[in-house]
A and B are shown apart, each in its own frame.
Chain A
Amino acid sequence: MKELRQVGRSVTKVDSLSLASGKAKFTDDLLQGDELYCLLLESPHAHAEILSLDASEAEALPGVVAVFHGGNVPRVLYTSAGQGNPEPSPYDMVLFDNRVRFVGDRVALVAAETEEIAREACAKIRVEYRELPANFRPERARDPQTPRLHGDQAFMPIEELPYRPEENVASEVLLTIGDPDGAFEESDFVEEHSYSVQYASHAALEPHTSHARLDPMGRLVIHTSTQVPFHARRITAKLLEIPVATVRVIKPRIGGGFGGKQEVLLEPLVGLVTWKTRRPARLTLSRKEVFTSARTRHPMKVRLKTGFLKDGTIKALEMENLMTSGAYGPHAMTVLTVSAWKCLPLYNKVENLRFTGHTVYTNTPVGGAYRGYGATQSHFATNQQLDIIARTCGKDVLELAKSLHIKEGETSPVFEALGEGKGGVTQTITSCKLSECIDRGAEALGWYEKRDKKLRQGSWVRGVGMAICMQGTGLPRVDLGAATMKMNEGGSFNLLMGATDLGTGSDTILAQIAAEVLGISVEDIVVTSSDTDTTPFDVGAYASSTTYVSGGAVKRCAETVKEQICEVAAEMMEVPREELIFAPGGEIRHPGSDKKVSFAEVAQYTLYGGTLQQIGATGSFSGEVSPPPFTAQFADISVDCDTGKIKVHHLVTAIDCGQPINPTLAEGQVEGAVLNAMGYALYEEYRFNKKGGVTNASFWDYKVPGPMDAPKITTILVDSYEETGPYGAKSVSEVPMNGPAPAIANALYDAAGVRLYHLPFTPEKVLEALKKEQRGRAS
């Protein structure tokens, strides 16, 4: 393989210094000061009909420019999910409905000259509600007497996808392979457990925010903190009933997303205000609103039943997932699908498998995309079950994991059976270094010195646990990425990509790919991204697609540009094209004659001197497969048997992400995911009052890990190469979310002999389990 010069180097992120210095601009930093201040009025009720809404007093206030609500905004059914068109999510929402379905749901929008006036106006909107019975429990959602959240109008735009709002079922995924019931009969052991993963908030530091204005040509220009600028453009145009060409969406720097901004929440609102009032408008969610009224992790109950033999072979696996959609259904089908699709293939040797999944409506905050996207929830269950199986059979869980995970050259019927909206694809694993990940991770943790040892220090007892995980890399035949390059005098290039950099560093790594193709350095490339007018289409940052799909597009684009340069160079040097080679530093050489030209000379020749043309191209890419990245993740913890407190000493991740384009940035993705995972394993949760309102919608009581809480985190990028990915790359950002929570659960069992099935592992829960276990042993 040719030696890489740019790819595989930890190039400093192109925007690092501008961000560190505070110069780089985020959405709110681009406000011009003339925008109308927009404020949402939100529902205090979990479920109610809006009998009447009188905004006259609010409208009469001096300084109030407009009040929008169900009475004056057209009802256009849509989904806020940032997905391709048609979205595989139910169209069950309108901008302002005559019904509210959770505490925090939208009722009206005020646009005023100042914040103060907007607040005063909001308080003057008179709403008459008729409260309806509300249901907060997913297991009750389908009961006949449970209130239905969505009536006759909501529908699923892709007809084949199951959608039964009359049952409060937002999605259903069913899959059976082989004969699970028969296989359970033939098993030596059957273990069945119910697990649950809770509501969580992405807690990106920058709240959701957007602003809009009309440009001099009367087009609607929206700056927004989004992961999906092109979907935002399309959906905004649709809701305002204006042509897509009228709308421009620009993503500046974003302060984190993690999936929470793969949603079209505020753009249609500021768009509406600006379009109707002809004035610029801004809307920023408060931190409280981000918790209650944006999107969350989908809570999920996972019932997992495994039938296995004495030697650890799993004969049958039955997984039943009950996912809480909340009041609306964005990503209701896709997250549910992923909980099977990006988890079960890991156990491809299981010949008998049943997956039953339902997503149900409840009168609670709305789930959306959140890093891991369903796989996180399933892996929490499968990895604990794996630990149980190993212990039951008296096997080393590491050896067991190595024996049963999917290997290179293998496939799983689950790949073909399930897809996100379209059918699945058959795929064979072309790269998998998971066994090596397991070995290297174990070594880094000091696994064998601690496993089963229950090392004590006072009231603290120590344990270690492991998890194996997979995810996907883009959505095959669904995700499209594109890139455009053009050559400038001097030999530099503009690289225009729709791809969305959330801080992940995609601007940088995509430039590295282009630089690698052309033999130049990242400094010679000027990156522009995420402007729907100037950059080509890209679905956006989700499904772990950017490196692979957008990277694939960049590679194709750069290769086309390289070809063009080669042709021109041949013409300039009057030699055959085939005899030319590209040398590092932007040079084309003819070895046979010592002739050479630089990129700068080629640019001069094409722009001014010789055969006039603009060297440039657009490349598109959509994957045929979604090659999974793999992780083996380890936790070394101690638990205080007197208080139930868990102290995490060390979290190790060994990852196969193919060839990392930029090792430092890849590590950064792992480290962030791992700490986030520890957060939802130990502290993060939504607390509700009896009326369905969130009581801890603030960092005061929604605890995220701070610098003093972070354990030692080790990342090992295992050598791997994925032939279908640009320079061998796969994805890296989502998969490390999936392992730490089950690894901690397994470590807890190793330490103290208690197994907790329900997140988060608060000290009180742990202590209760410890005491119960003690009482059990005593009797």
Chain B
Amino acid sequence: MEWFFPKTVDEVVEHLGKEDTVLHGGGTMLLRSKLRSSGRMVDLSGVEPLKQVIMEGGTTSLGGGVTYAEAAHRLGESDPEHILVKSLGGAASTPLRNRITLGGSIMAQPFWSDLLGPLMALGAEIRLEGAHSQVCEMGEFLRSSELRSGSLVHSLRFPFHSWRTWYHREVRTAFDYAAFTLTMLYRQERGMVKDLRVVLTGTSKKVERLLSVEERLQGRDAEERDFGNLEALLPETFVDRPHGSASYLRSVAAVALERGLRTLMGGDAA
């Protein structure tokens, strides 16, 4: 194992061109798996451009090296209800949030990630550098294992909108990984459901947008409380976890879904 401490994105890209390169963000995912004794460990913490948090021109951009804690803190300063504040701000634990990076999480894509669901819902785009220098949609990145190899997550960005947000993490105790997460973004206009995005993570598909739920509710009267059989709209892709069986998790997800909708919908806010 040999360590490298680049200062620029170009230097990182140069490393990525070489064999055996391992990108080290916060290191938490690396330490969960077996560390290879060989390999070029490229530490990203000195690459300033990866730590940027930029909010301008209707877009929020977060660097791949930004930690969960930093992201939640910075976004929370202007919008305490931001979905990423809710999801990242409660993920894992205080000391782990100080190490887990957005880029690391996007690359590793653990099924329990508190990041993937919200990013899908936000319609985030990932800017990659290295072997695949491009900007791609979150969903596209998740579907392609090819895009991951030889890539650096430079940053992610999503349009700034004022959403009502709701987040559920299915855990046993407070400090626990999630069996599944449910992200809901909602906007209402003149008492009607203007825009609803629902993303489920933790199933066998890892990240799923619940389009059938969105379709059911799109354009409805926001005061209408009869949502129909929501459980029937949930996919059959739940898996058994130590938290509970697949069927239990599915039924709880339906409950969480309903509670989220009730919390979000109605009232005065536009």
Q: Which of B57-65, B100-108, B170-178, B185-193 contacts A (4 or more CB under 8 A)?
A: B170-178
For the complex, is B245 an interface residue (Cβ under 8 Å from A)?
Answer: yes
Q: Of A642, A700, A763, which one neighbours B177 at CB under 8 angstroms?
A: A700
For the complex, is A709 an interface residue (Cβ under 8 Å from B)?
Answer: yes
For the complex, is B228 an interface residue (Cβ under 8 Å from A)?
Answer: no
For the complex, is A762 an interface residue (Cβ under 8 Å from B)?
Answer: yes
**In the complex, A709 Cα to B255 Cα: how many Å?**
22
* In contact, A696 and B242 (Cβ under 8 angstroms): yes
**In the complex, A643 Cα to B173 Cα: how many Å?**
15
* In contact, A643 and B255 (Cβ under 8 angstroms): yes
For the complex, is A302 an interface residue (Cβ under 8 Å from B)?
Answer: no
* In contact, B175 and A706 (Cβ under 8 angstroms): yes
Closest-by-CB residue of A relative to B174 is A708
**In the complex, A643 Cα to B252 Cα: how many Å?**
6
For the complex, is A517 an interface residue (Cβ under 8 Å from B)?
Answer: no
Chain A min CB distance to B263 (Å): 11
* In contact, B242 and A687 (Cβ under 8 angstroms): yes
Which residues of chain A are near B248, meaning CB under 8 Å? Answer: 763-764, 767
**In the complex, A762 Cα to B245 Cα: how many Å?**
11
**In the complex, A32 Cα to B175 Cα: how many Å?**
36
**In the complex, A700 Cα to B248 Cα: how many Å?**
21
For the complex, is A139 an interface residue (Cβ under 8 Å from B)?
Answer: no
For the complex, is B244 an interface residue (Cβ under 8 Å from A)?
Answer: yes
Which residues of chain B are near A696, meaning CB under 8 Å? Answer: 242
Which residues of chain B are near A421, meaning CB under 8 Å? Answer: none
Known A-B contacts A683-B173, A705-B173; the reply to A763 vs B244 at CB < 8 A is yes
Interface of B is mostly: loop
List A residues 644-692 near B (Cβ within 8 Å): 683, 687
* In contact, B244 and A703 (Cβ under 8 angstroms): no
Q: Of A687, A703, A764, which one neighbours B173 at CB under 8 angstroms?
A: A703
* In contact, B172 and A683 (Cβ under 8 angstroms): yes
Q: Of B176, B177, B245, B255, which one neighbours A764 at CB under 8 angstroms?
A: B245
Interface membership of chain B positions 49-81, coded 1 if the CB is closer than 8 angstroms to chain A and 0 otherwise = 000000000000000000000000000000000
* In contact, A703 and B176 (Cβ under 8 angstroms): yes
* In contact, B242 and A709 (Cβ under 8 angstroms): no
Which residues of chain A are near B242, meaning CB under 8 Å? Answer: 687, 696, 701
Which residues of chain A are near B252, meaning CB under 8 Å? Answer: 643, 763
Which residues of chain A are near B255, meaning CB under 8 Å? Answer: 642-643
Closest-by-CB residue of A relative to B93 is A706
Closest-by-CB residue of B relative to A704 is B173
Which residues of chain B are near A701, meaning CB under 8 Å? Answer: 242
List A residues 688-742 near B (Cβ within 8 Å): 696, 700-701, 703-706, 708-709
Interface membership of chain B positions 94-127, coded 1 if the CB is closer than 8 angstroms to chain A and 0 otherwise = 0000000000000000000000000000000000
**In the complex, A548 Cα to B248 Cα: how many Å?**
49
Known A-B contacts A642-B255, A643-B252, A643-B255; the reply to A709 vs B173 at CB < 8 A is yes
Closest-by-CB residue of B relative to A683 is B172
- 3 nearest interchain CB pairs? A708-B174, A764-B244, A764-B248
Interface residues of B (CB under 8 A from A): 172-177, 242, 244-245, 248, 251-252, 255
List 12 contacting pairs A-B, 8 Å CB cutoff, sorted by A: A643-B252, A643-B255, A683-B173, A696-B242, A703-B173, A705-B173, A706-B173, A762-B172, A762-B244, A763-B252, A764-B244, A764-B245
Further 9 A-B residue pairs, CB within 8 A, beyond A705-B173, A708-B174, A762-B244: A642-B255, A687-B242, A700-B177, A701-B242, A703-B173, A703-B176, A763-B252, A764-B244, A767-B248
